[in-house]
Structure formats: C-alpha cells, structure tokens
Amino acid sequence: MSVPNDGSIVGVAPSATPGVSPSAGPAVLPDADQLVRVPFERLRAAWRAQTTPPDVKARLAVLAKLQAWIVAHQEDIAKAISADFGHRSHHETIAAELALAATDLQHTRAQLSSWARPESRATFWGFLPASSRLVRQPLGIVGIVVPWNYPFQLAVMPLTAAIAAGNRVLLKPSELTPRTGELVRAMVKEVFPPDQVDVVTGGADVGGAFARLPFDHLFFTGSTSVGRMVMRAAAENLTPVTLELGGKSPVLVHASYDPARAAESVAAGKLLNAGQTCIAPDYVLIAPERVDAFVKGYERSVTQMYPRIVDNPDYTSIINDRHYARLDALLADAVKKGATVKQINPANEAVGDSRKFFPTLVLGATPDMALMQDEIFGPILPVVAVTSVDDAIRFVNDNPRPLALYYFDDDGARVENVLARTTSGGASVNATLYHMAQHDMPFGGVGASGMGRYHGFDGFRTFSHEKSVFYQTRLNGTASLRPPYGKMFGALMKLFVR
C-alpha cells in the first residue's frame, strides 16, 4: 500500500466511499448503514453459530499473535501515524502508543486466567449449604470507535480488553488518520479471522451508522459533543455505552510547592503529542505571587526539552489545518479579551508548512474566553492566578467534571483534602499523565468527561457480563419458603424482619 501526497490511499477502493474494499463489488456503492451492517451481520452470525465462546486458551493465543504483530510492525505503525499527523515524534509513538499497548497486552495475558475464573461470592446463611458465584461471560458483539489523537493505542487497548473477555469486535478508526486506519485494518486481517474482528472506515456518516447498530456494547473514545450523539443512538437499542471523552483537566499548584518543579512536569505532560492528549493539563491555577516563577520555569523546561521546535523531530505537528486554525482562533479571542500571550520559540524559527504550533502561555485568562470554556487540545496553556486552594477548588467545581486533575503539593493532608473535594476521572499528585499508565487502575471519565472504565481487569469487566449464579444443593431448607407457609417460615421471617 502506498500513500500519495494528496492523502488518498492507493490500494483501497478507487472510488471515494471509505471502508469499501474493491472486492465489495457492486457499481453502486453501499451507503453508510449498509457499509457497517454487512460486517456486523457477519460477526453476529458467527457469534450465533458458535457452540461456546472462545475459551481462555484461545483468547490467550490470539492476544499473543496481536502482541507479536505490534512488535514486528513498530516502524510501520510509527510511519503511518507520522504521515497522518504531518509529523509525529517517533519517541512519542513508541512510548504512548506501542509501549502502552504492549505492556497492557502483557499484563492482560499474565492475568487473564485468574480474571476469567468464576468468583466465589458469599451465600446468605438462610440458603446454606448452597453456593453462589459470579461468572464473567462475553457480551457478544462489541463496537469500538477510535479518535485520531492516539490512533493506534486507542484502537488496540479496548480491542485487547474486548478480546480478552471473549467478544467479537467491529472497529471504526478515525477518518483523520486514514493511514493508521488502513494499518489497523491490515493488522486485524492478519491476526484475527474476519468473523472475530473487523474494521470499517469512514467519517461522521459511517460513525453515525455505526452507533445505530445493535451492539451488545459500544465503546466510544472521542469528544463530548459526539459522545452525546453516540449515547442517543445507542439508547434506541438499549446498547450499553462506555464513553471515553475529553474536557478541561486542571492543574493546581499549592503556593508552597516549587513552581519550577511543577512547571517541568506540566510542560512535559502538556507538550506530549503537542497537547493533543485527552488528559493533557489544560490550564493551571496558581497563587498570584507564584505566577512569574511558574512562567519562567515553564519557559526553561520547554527550552530544555525542545531547544528547537519546527526542526525538532520530537515535537509533534497539529493534526490538520482546521485544528491549527482553531488554536490560532483561541489565542486571537484571548488577546481580544485582554489576555497576554507568550509564545515560546527558543530558536526563533518560522513555522512554514510544518503545522507545528509553538508552545504558548496565556496570562490573565478570564472565564469569558473560549480557551477557558473549550478543551484546548493543543500546546496552549492558560495560567490563572487564584488566591487560595479553596478558590482553586471552587473554580474546578464550577466547571464540568474533568477527565484528570493534577495537584502539586508535598503536604499529604492537603493533598487528600483536594482529592476529596474535587471529582475527576483520575488524578496524579506531583506529576502529570502517569495515573493512566497504571494497568491495574481503571481509566475513564466522570460526568462530562465520560462514563465507564477500562485498562487491565477493569477493561475485562467492562466487556464481560457479570452473571450471578446460585447453585442449589440437593439437601436444602428452601421448602419452608413455599406455600403452604408453616411454622418454620414464620420463625425465619421473624429472624429476617427485625
């Protein structure tokens, strides 16, 4: 497969309809609903035809194959993502796409046998000697919708969990990362039979049709606005959803914490993938007397990490012109409303056609500015002065619940206080981003930043039905619970109702 400069992909259907392979045949190409319906029906037919779902051994074998494919295709994956972005740091792809996906696969493969074992639960004494068990079984056909910002990892990690739980999967990559989408399609073709996992590609129309399919579970990663549409469509089929959404993740820096140290961590978290990260620090709340030191520390950290920006292979481009213009417009709006903008351009470079957006600090941001209302999703960082921790907490709580919250403070009691008084999907203390890389902790949002969770065991649970099973014994006392109600029934009820 080759990728010409115009962004189209040679090797898929020459006519423009996305997701239709040349073998699909008819001159009149199917509309979005048909496009997604065909592979969905194939998966569903295979699900219905199977006598039992794949056992743990079969799941482990296919997960091992998936892991081997990723290890063998690291360079192809990095190249495809970089071509989709214009430029994506190779190191960032290795760490944030491949290492995350591979270590999650390792963790899943090591733990799957114990996760899949039925779990003994207490039986209420009135029913003894019966026993009770929680049995986790696959849900059936799972839909996974993928965004563009980590187009490989955000396909593979939910896929890993869904397959570990024994499901069949239909994946939809983002139309903004077509090369990675085609690579994911190639991966799926090589690793899985077509009636176990399949891929459909396309934009909003295909996404809309996809969300209307009667999946047994729909797993969506993307924006809050599209998440709303997905949930509305899924409601028609009573399809349960996991929504991994975005939002504005705040950073709170206590006045006693070294602002330069905080700035180092915030800059690293903010500039990974040029800020196009769902849990990127969105804005900073800090004491007024610490703003200057934070700004200096941030500029120093950026310069150390990226002495050059445009020329630097480790600084990632903005995904497309539309998003670049959106970031420019956020700054223009902030300036118009009185903010001061500090662009960090250590080597005094020109952007040219690189689509690299210089790291930028915004001072004096106010709530009426668009960049304090919308998720920034780029390397712009507003630094807002707040006079106390209470004010910072109020600020956070006056806004929709964020996906992540970062608090910098060495005082353990204050840390617990801030965590207790704020609600976010996850949090890191004295660090940014790292809570999401812990495979034994669930990852997900709350409120406007999403619902549901995955990673590790929590991903396995998301894609499993947890069935409560009661096992009766031949000898038991439950006859007394049936009419005609006798003395034993009365005595038992007296014991229960008290």
Q: Are strands 281-286 and 450-451 parallel, antiparallel or unpaired?
A: unpaired
Contact indicator for 405, 424 with CB cutoff of 8 Å: yes
Q: 244 catalytic, yes or no?
A: yes
What does the alpha-carbon distance between residue 298 and residue 361 come to, in Å, rounded to a whole number?
9
From 182, 244, 264, 375, the catalytic residue: 244
Distances in whole angstroms, Cα of residue 325 to Cα of each of 144, 278, 320, 328, 356: 29, 19, 9, 5, 12
Give min distance, CB of 300 to ligand NAD, in A: 28
Does 170 engage in binding with ligand NAD (CB under 6 A)?
no
Tokens matching residue 341? 């903008």
Backbone conformation region of residue 192, classed left if phi is above 0, alpha if psi is from -120 to 50, else beta: beta
- When asked if residue 246 is in the footprint of ligand NAD (CB under 6 A), the reply is yes
> 340-373 burial, b if ≥16 CB within 10 A, otherwise e?
ebeebbbeeeeeeebbbbbbbbbbbbeeebebbe
CB of 427 to ligand NAD, least distance (A): 14
The answer to the question of residue 149 lying near ligand NAD (CB under 6 A) is yes
75 is catalytic: no
Interface with ligand NAD includes 203 (CB under 6 A)?
yes
From the list 435, 452, 434, the residue with the least C-alpha distance to 444 is: 452
Contact in structure between 170 and 200 (CB atoms under 8 Å): yes
Considering only 18, 138, 222, 379, the residue that binds ligand NAD (CB under 6 A) is 222
Instruction: Give the one residue of 60, 230, 234, 365 binding ligand NAD; rule: CB under 6 A.
Output: 230
Stretch of residues binding ligand NAD (CB under 6 A), selected from 124-132, 141-149, 286-294, 386-394: 141-149
Shortest distance (Å) from residue 232 CB to ligand NAD:
9
Residue 426 contacts residue 402 (beta carbons within 8 Å): no
Told to check if 174 binds ligand NAD by CB under 6 A, we report: yes
Of 172 and 401, CB closest to ligand NAD: 172
Number of residues interacting with ligand NAD: please give it, by CB under 6 A. Answer: 30
Kindly report the CA angle at 401 between 252 and 420, in degrees rounded to 5? 60
Q: Does residue number 281 form part of the binding site for ligand NAD (CB under 6 A)?
A: no
Q: Which of 9, 29, 130, 229 binds ligand NAD (CB under 6 A)?
A: 229
CA pair distance 290, 309, nearest whole angstrom? 27
Q: Contact letters (x/-) for ligand NAD, 434-473, by CB under 6 A?
A: -----------x----x-----------------------
Under the criterion CB under 6 A, does residue 244 sit at the interface with ligand NAD? yes
> ∠ at Cα 73 (68, 77), nearest 5°?
130
Exactly one of 278, 299, 375, 416 is catalytic; name it: 278
Q: Does 325 bind ligand NAD (CB under 6 A)?
A: no
Of 162, 211, 272, 376, the residue at the interface with ligand NAD (CB under 6 A) is: 211
Indicate the SS3 state at residue 497: coil
Whichever of 97 and 244 has its CB closer to ligand NAD, that residue is: 244
Q: Which residues are catalytic?
A: 244, 278
Binding region for ligand NAD (CB under 6 A): 145-149, 154, 172, 174-175, 203-204, 207-208, 210-211, 221-223, 226, 229-230, 244-246, 278, 375, 377, 403, 445, 450
